[in-house]
Amino acid sequence: MTHTPLSNLGEFGLINHLTQQIKLINSSSIVGIGDDAAVMDFSGYQTLISTDLLVENIHFDLVYTPLQHLGYKAVAVCVSDIYAMNAQPTQITVAMAVSNRYSVEALEEIYTGMKRACAFYGVDMVGGDTTSSVRGLTLSMTALGIAKKEQIVYRNGAKVGDLICATGDLGAAYLGLQLLEREKQIFIDQPTMQPKLEGKDYLLSRILKPEARKDIIDFLQKNQILPTSMIDVSDGISSEINHICKASNVGALIEEQLVPIAQETSLQAIEFNLDPITCALHGGEDYELLFTINPKDADKIRFSNEISIIGEIIPAQDGIRLQTKGGNFHNLTAQGFKHY
Amino acid sequence: MTHTPLSNLGEFGLINHLTQQIKLINSSSIVGIGDDAAVMDFSGYQTLISTDLLVENIHFDLVYTPLQHLGYKAVAVCVSDIYAMNAQPTQITVAMAVSNRYSVEALEEIYTGMKRACAFYGVDMVGGDTTSSVRGLTLSMTALGIAKKEQIVYRNGAKVGDLICATGDLGAAYLGLQLLEREKQIFIDQPTMQPKLEGKDYLLSRILKPEARKDIIDFLQKNQILPTSMIDVSDGISSEINHICKASNVGALIEEQLVPIAQETSLQAIEFNLDPITCALHGGEDYELLFTINPKDADKIRFSNEISIIGEIIPAQDGIRLQTKGGNFHNLTAQGFKHY
């Protein structure tokens, strides 16, 4: 890869260079990048907005994160919040602070990943800001989306008796991260060692290139299922079910044996002397969806291999609990907050 | 000021604490902070979005920036882009990366400034993300706004013969910054010296607490003036007129003697051995508006003390030029790009 200094292009040249091939695909995108603001027209639909910040050495480590994957993930993380409202993302803006140790080619890699994600999710990149930082890379994404008013799913609609559903499988991203951290440490201690990551593709892809669950939102719409509450799984389902229960003023009972965990996740957890269910409950960054449905919709859910019923909404006074395979009950507490 | 560690509240507690008193004031704001995304309803209006990133030690220096002012300025900078489209800002999201050397009270100060700015501009804070950083503070703001389709003013509508207008006065923020940098350097060299900033209130307020020109947008609407092009002055009018001319495929002639410069700015420039017009043309961060109008609207502009006609749009082949008081002509080049 060549290394063109950022100063060769200048600020305005850099923005033009990175965004010149962006074509708008949504009819609601009237004017994109290039003026003081982008212009959208959403007549007849409600508009959703969500924003996320990814900070180097907090949310990602460039030692083991390919830049294209980082760009892809930044978009996926942000649109995931829009899907979690049962809406379709339509536009995104990206603000980026980079130090001058980054080259133009490095930023192109990030943008390439972003553009691929935008194409996959059908989102238009309509604006942004590029500035320098003293040190490190910070990415800030804001996604807009649309939905018909009656289709929007909030966190506060869960009712006693509703079934709790999780998509995909859980805990894999956390174990992928542990693997990468282990290999990084070995590399720091013994730089001649080769990383041992063969056969770990699934776990690595889950942390490095997660997908937002557009497919699930499409499935729900096609099968006329309107969840009663929904949230995306960024901090682990233990934390997310607490958000739903607090907003809905209900409790929850999750059954350990129903929580979907991939075989790769279980094996890797055991290798690390961790309990797989702990990784699945508290490991973050899976970007799956956690939602509740009226029991009358249970039969429709069974058409999807990607959705597991993992428990039931119970009265608030009964708490938020896990029933273990051994039949014991544990309180599920919100963890999150890894960062401070 | 007490110093409560961020870890006392936890991530979710912190967000609740900082955002609990936020009340929504725009009817288009359906649901604000607290779910995966905020929900807006803009039926009948086009929607505008703009995003900005402010990075510690690039865009602000906490040695001399009060935190409330920083919060206020972050909002003002972002809504300024919406006003520059002749639109009204309606919602804002704020993402913030902070290291754990910040206290809860420090973040409260920033939010206090943001909330004051939101109240002043009539904007709802509807979402955000708060995360940690390895070092320093980064603020990312995204503003939404609305306008009737036919009222939106882009950069690309300037026509030969249009008059070029600037609001307020120019160059003051740049000189305020030079003053603060000088006093900082003196303080570093001789910590017992008291800063000499008496009588510099105007210049300091221009850099520390700029206002977006909501009043101008209201004036234009009241007087039924629709600019042919408009941009906000973040990088200096030399850079901004280049943006307008490039987008509109025209040239410009600006007359030095018509460029509005406050007396405080001229005196301070001379004290620093700088040419006042250079500060006015190339100094950034004034957050004034630069716009063009059809000459038929010239009489209406004269009702405002806050708008100066500073030149005229000319054919593209005649370039983008400054006519000095001495009658000479200079090319005006875009500078911007101070950061790399």
Give yes or no for a contact between A114 and A125, defined as CB atoms under 8 angstroms apart: yes
For the cut 80, the answer to whether the pLDDT of residue B15 exceeds it is no
Mean pLDDT of chain B: 91
Q: Report pLDDT for B12.
A: 66
Torsion of CA A52, A58, A60, A61, to 10 degrees: 160
Which amino acid is present at A61? D
Contacts of A81 in chain B (CB under 8 A): 36-37
How does residue B182 score in pLDDT terms, banded at 50, 70 and 90? Answer: very high
- ipTM of model: 0.88
Can you tell me the mean pLDDT for A80-88?
Answer: 96
How does residue B11 score in pLDDT terms, banded at 50, 70 and 90? Answer: low
Whether residues B132 and A6 touch (CB distance < 8 A) is answered with no
For the cut 60, the answer to whether the pLDDT of residue A179 exceeds it is yes
DSSP tag of A136: S
For B49-96, what is each residue's pLDDT tens digit?
999 999 999 999 998 999 999 999 999 999 999 999 999 999 999 999
Joined tokens for residue A50: 């969500």
The rounded distance, in Å, linking the Cα atoms of A324 and B147 is 55
Give yes or no for a contact between B213 and B83, defined as CB atoms under 8 angstroms apart: yes
Beta bridge partners of A163: A293, A312
Distance in Å, alpha carbon of B17 to nearest chain A alpha carbon: 15
For A33-54, what is each residue's pLDDT tens digit?
878 888 888 888 899 999 999 9
The rounded distance, in Å, linking the Cα atoms of B220 and A272 is 66
Nearest to B31 among A128, A142, A154 (CB): A154
For the cut 60, the answer to whether the pLDDT of residue B42 exceeds it is yes
The rounded distance, in Å, linking the Cα atoms of B13 and A40 is 34
Q: Report pLDDT for A336.
A: 44
Interface test with B, best of A8, A27, A49, A231 (most B CBs within 10 A): A49
Give yes or no for a contact between B112 and B17, defined as CB atoms under 8 angstroms apart: no
Give yes or no for a contact between B136 and B58, defined as CB atoms under 8 angstroms apart: no
On whether any CB of chain B is under 8 Å from the CB of A290, the answer is no
For A269-312, what is each residue's pLDDT tens digit?
999 999 999 999 999 999 999 999 999 999 999 889 999 999 99
For the cut 60, the answer to whether the pLDDT of residue B337 exceeds it is no
The rounded distance, in Å, linking the Cα atoms of A103 and A117 is 22
Task: Provide, rounded to the nearest whole percent, the portion of chain A with pLDDT above 70.
Answer: 97
* Closest among A138, A115, A146, A132 to A54, alpha carbons compared: A138
CB contact residues (below 8 A), chain B span 80-109, against chain A: 81-82, 84-85, 87, 91, 93-97, 100
Q: How far is CA B283 from each of CA A213, B183, B261, B311, rounded to the nearest angstrom?
A: 47, 19, 12, 19
Q: What is the CA radius of gyration of chain B?
A: 21
* Closest among A4, A294, A301 to A158, alpha carbons compared: A294
Whether residues A47 and B50 touch (CB distance < 8 A) is answered with no
Can you tell me the mean pLDDT for B3-11?
Answer: 77
SS3 A284: coil
* Closest among A242, A234, A310, A248 to A59, alpha carbons compared: A234
Domains, chain A, with CATH or none: 6-151 (3.30.1330.10), 163-331 (3.90.650.10)
Q: Report pLDDT for A93.
A: 93
- For residue B230, give the chain A residue with the closest CA: A36
Give yes or no for a contact between B164 and B292, defined as CB atoms under 8 angstroms apart: yes
Nearest to A134 among B31, B100, B136 (CB): B136
For A139-158, what is each residue's pLDDT tens digit?
999 999 999 999 999 999 99
Distance in Å, alpha carbon of A267 to nearest chain B alpha carbon: 31
Can you tell me the mean pLDDT for B251-275?
Answer: 97
For residue B306, which phi and psi values (nearest 5 degrees)? -95, 0
On whether any CB of chain A is under 8 Å from the CB of B39, the answer is yes
Instruction: Name the more confident of B101 and A253.
Output: A253
